Every structure is written in structure tokens, then in C-alpha cells.
């Protein structure tokens, strides 16, 4: 990974971290999707999803809705990995 | 004998690694939540709390100039003086109510504690608040939450060590028993999200805009104010739409009934 890509990834991570801390899922989600597409093994999306649910969800009586960010982040990561495999053959 | 070398593309290997890693993450989260349900929210919130506190302090005017703060202080002092005059008449009425309650043997003993709202809708999803008090401060997952002005708005759903999550009664699908209008018609308030409620009453019940909704406790706390009544000639029920008298998007402080 070259230096430019590392810096780019750090910037993406910072934007996602600030967005998740502030509860701005509408910023975190598109930025994370771009990150998954641009960088390899972008595990940060799952970390962000887990963090988001830990902040605002994960209440037993919410049921699966309390884990919606984690579920969405894992689905996005898996779909993008599959898409990348098809597109970049 | 010649064998064809098995060759996997790097992308294929990467996709498989990601699928395995995701499986591991799901398993770890499920196990942690099953064994220690408060571990992950507590851990992540302890990291976030200092940032949220700093954000709250900045939005409360901690970075304002001394001159601005002094002007604001002066204005607030004037406002307090005005309010104190009004408060005296409210106190007189309250003491009268308390006297009646004592006479009837129904004294209300409740201790409330003030909490700062660290996160509120629309930025927090799920129509919930995050407050800066947790079970270290005596907050439990059965505590009720009041907005300033004695307005019941929600309940604690998850009390962590120093923060708690408050589920607003206006969350979609949440239900709460209320009394509507001057006739105190019982009904079930159903949350619609964004601080809005709806309830169904018989079309014959007289409810109009501006009527009060109270919660059916001894103290009759204000729960909401009717904003609209939707009725149809073919429907025996009328839908009452109402909202709390406070704006949940502007809440900065709440009171927790321990």
C-alpha cells in the first residue's frame, strides 16, 4: 500500500469515527461504503457498525433492531467483496 | 503424469477471508452479548463519554467570551427573579395538593436527579436519548424520565455505569396508557417517532385541539397536547394525534425518577 493510500485510509477512518461518535449515520454509511470499495480489507466498517450499535442500540428489548448497524456493515462488506471479485477479474 | 496446478485468484481468496472474518465477528458479538450483555455498550460508551461531555460543554457555551457569559448571566438572573415570583404561586398550589394527599393517605415520595442529554434525536437513531448518569448514580432500568416541566417522555432501557439509554415513549410502536381531554378518557398512546403520538378513541368522545393528555398516575403529569383529531364518518373511532409540550430535539436536561 502506497503512502497516499494510507493517508486516504486514515482520513476515511477519522471521518467515520467522528460521524459514529456524533450519531451521523447518514455520513458514516456512504463514507464507509466508499472505503470498502476503495481499500482492501476495510474492517473499519464492521468496527463502526459495532460501535454505533453499542452507543445507541444493543438494548435487549430492541431485539434484532439493536444490532441493525452491525448487520448492515457485515452485509455491505460481504456484498462488496463479492462484487469486487466479479468486477476486478 | 502431469497435473494442472490449482490456481486461485487473489480476489477469490480475499472474499473467502472476509466471509470467514465476518462469521468470527458475528460469533464473538453473539457470545459476548449472551454472556455479558452490558460489556460492549459499557466499553464503547466509556470511550465516547469524554467526547460527548466535551461536545455538550461546547454547545452549552463553555467557549464563550467572559463578556458574553456575564451578559447571559445577568439576563438569566433577571429571568430567575421573574420565575421565582411565578414559582411561589405554583409552590402554594403544590403544598395544597400535598396537604390533600396527606389527608387522603397518598403521599408521593419520589427522588429525581438531573441528567445532561448527551445525544438526542435526530442524530441518535431508534428515537432514544443518551444521558450522562448511569447505575453508579442510582439510575436503574425501571426509572422514568421527565422533561423539564414535569413532562413524562420515556424510560431508561439500559443503565450502564456512567451513561444510560432512554427509550422515548414516542418511539415507533411504544405504547403507554394515557387519559385524554377534560373527560379523562382512557386510551393507549402509540409512538409514531419524532416525538409524536397517536391514540384511538370513540368518535363520540369530545376531544379538540389543545386538550391535555395526562398519564394516569396520582400526580397527573402532562404527557402531551392534542395537535389534531382525525375522524371519518365511516369509522366509529377517531384518531387523536398529539405531541409533548417540549421539543425533544432541543432537550438538554432531563429528570430521572429513581
Tens digits of residue pLDDT in A38-47: 988 888 999 9
What is the pLDDT at residue B8?
57
Q: Is A65 inside a domain boundary?
A: yes
Give B-chain residues touching A24 at CB under 8 angstroms.
123
State the pLDDT at residue A51.
Answer: 92
Chain B: residue nearest A48 by CA? Answer: B44
A40 found inside a domain: yes
B30 at interface of A, judged by CB pairs closer than 8 A: no
Among A56, A58, A84, the residue with its CB nearest the CB of B40 is A58
Q: Is B12 close to A46, i.e. CB distance below 8 A?
A: no
Count structural domains, chain A: 1
Please give the DSSP secondary-structure letter assigned to residue A30.
Answer: H
Ranges of chain B whose pLDDT falls below 50 = none
By the CB < 8 Å criterion, does B18 face chain A? yes
pLDDT on residue B149: 80
- Three-state DSSP state, B9: coil
Looking at residue B124, the DSSP 8-state letter turns out to be S
B126 touches chain A (CB under 8 A): yes
Domain of residue B37: give its range.
18-59
Residues B114, B55 within the same domain: no
Q: Give the per-residue pLDDT at A17.
A: 94
pLDDT score for B202: 87
The DSSP-derived string for A34-74 is HHHHHSTT-THHHHHHHHHHHHH---GGGGGGGGHHHHHHH
Look at residue B107 in the predicted model and tell me its pLDDT.
Answer: 60
pLDDT of A18-40, one tens digit each?
A: 999 888 889 999 999 999 999 88
B193 and B122 part of one domain = yes
Report d(CA B162, CA B44) in Å as an integer: 12
Alpha carbon of B129: minimum distance to chain A alpha carbons (Å) = 8
pLDDT in the model for residue A32:
94
Report d(CA B142, CA B167) in Å as an integer. 11
Give the C-alpha separation, B252 to B118, whole Å: 8
Partner A contacted by B11 (CB < 8 A):
yes
CB B236 within 8 A of CB B201: no
Cβ distance A81 to B40 less than 8 Å, yes or no, reads: no
Q: Report if residue B174 sits inside a domain.
A: yes
> How many domains, in total, are found in chain B?
2
Q: Is B258 part of a structural domain of the chain?
A: yes
Nearest CA in chain B to A73: B22
- Predicted confidence (pLDDT) at residue A61 exceeds the cutoff of 70: yes
Structural domain includes residue B146: yes
Shared domain for B209 and B114, answered yes or no, is yes
Kindly state whether B172 is in contact with chain A, defined as any CB-CB distance less than 8 angstroms: no
What CATH number corresponds to the domain at position B186? 2.40.10.340
Same domain, B152 and B256: yes
Shared domain check, B120 and B27: no
Inter-chain contact A54–B157, Cβ cutoff 8 Å? no
Chain A interface test: which of B125, B159, B193 (most A C-beta within 10 Å): B125
Per-residue model confidence (pLDDT) at position A29: 92
Per DSSP, what are the bridge partners of residue B154? B145, B168
The confidence score (pLDDT) of residue B250 equals 83
Cell of B107: 403521599
**CB-based contact, B36 to chain A, within 8 Å:** no
Which residues form the domain of A80? Answer: 3-84
pLDDT at res. B81: 87
Residue A89 located in a structural domain: no
Do B214 and B117 lie in a common domain?
A: yes
Amino acid at each position: 500500500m502506497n503512502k497516499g493510500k494510507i493517508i486516504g485510509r486514515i482520513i476515511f477512518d477519522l471521518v467515520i469515527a467522528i460521524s459514529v461518535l456524533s450519531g451521523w449515520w447518514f455520513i458514516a454509511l456512504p463514507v464507509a461504503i466508499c472505503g470498502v470499495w476503495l481499500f482492501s480489507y476495510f474492517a473499519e466498517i464492521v468496527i463502526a457498525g459495532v460501535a454505533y450499535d453499542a452507543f445507541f442500540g444493543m438494548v435487549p428489548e430492541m431485539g434484532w433492531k439493536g444490532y441493525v448497524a452491525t448487520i448492515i456493515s457485515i452485509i455491505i462488506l460481504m456484498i462488496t467483496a463479492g462484487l469486487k471479485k466479479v468486477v476486478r477479474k | 503424469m502431469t497435473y494442472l496446478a490449482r490456481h486461485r485468484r487473489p480476489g477469490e481468496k480475499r472474499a473467502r477471508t472476509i466471509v470467514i472474518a465476518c462469521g468470527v465477528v458475528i460469533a464473538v458479538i453473539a457470545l459476548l452479548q449472551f454472556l455479558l450483555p452490558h460489556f460492549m455498550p459499557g466499553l464503547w460508551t466509556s470511550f465516547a463519554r469524554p467526547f460527548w461531555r466535551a461536545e455538550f460543554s461546547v454547545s452549552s457555551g463553555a467557549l464563550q467570551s467572559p463578556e458574553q457569559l456575564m451578559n447571559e448571566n445577568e439576563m438569566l438572573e433577571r429571568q430567575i427573579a421573574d420565575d421565582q415570583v411565578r414559582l411561589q404561586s405554583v409552590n402554594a398550589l403544590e403544598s395544597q395538593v400535598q396537604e390533600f394527599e396527606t389527608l387522603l393517605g397518598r403521599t408521593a415520595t419520589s427522588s429525581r436527579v438531573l441528567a445532561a442529554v448527551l445525544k438526542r434525536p435526530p442524530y441518535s437513531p431508534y428515537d432514544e436519548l443518551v444521558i450522562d448518569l448511569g447505575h453508579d448514580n442510582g439510575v436503574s432500568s425501571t426509572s422514568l424520565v421527565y422533561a423539564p416541566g414535569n413532562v413524562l417522555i420515556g424510560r431508561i432501557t439500559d443503565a450502564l455505569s456512567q451513561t444510560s439509554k432512554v427509550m422515548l415513549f414516542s418511539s415507533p410502536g411504544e405504547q403507554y396508557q394515557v387519559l385524554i381531554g377534560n373527560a379523562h378518557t382512557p386510551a393507549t398512546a402509540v409512538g409514531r417517532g419524532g416525538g409524536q403520538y397517536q391514540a384511538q378513541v370513540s368518535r363520540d368522545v369530545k376531544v379538540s385541539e389543545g386538550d391535555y393528555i395526562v398519564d394516569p398516575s396520582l400526580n397527573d403529569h402532562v404527557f402531551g397536547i392534542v395537535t389534531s383529531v382525525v375522524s371519518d364518518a365511516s369509522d366509529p373511532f377517531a384518531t387523536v394525534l398529539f405531541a409533548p409540550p417540549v421539543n425533544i430535539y432541543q432537550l438538554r436536561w432531563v429528570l430521572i425518577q429513581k
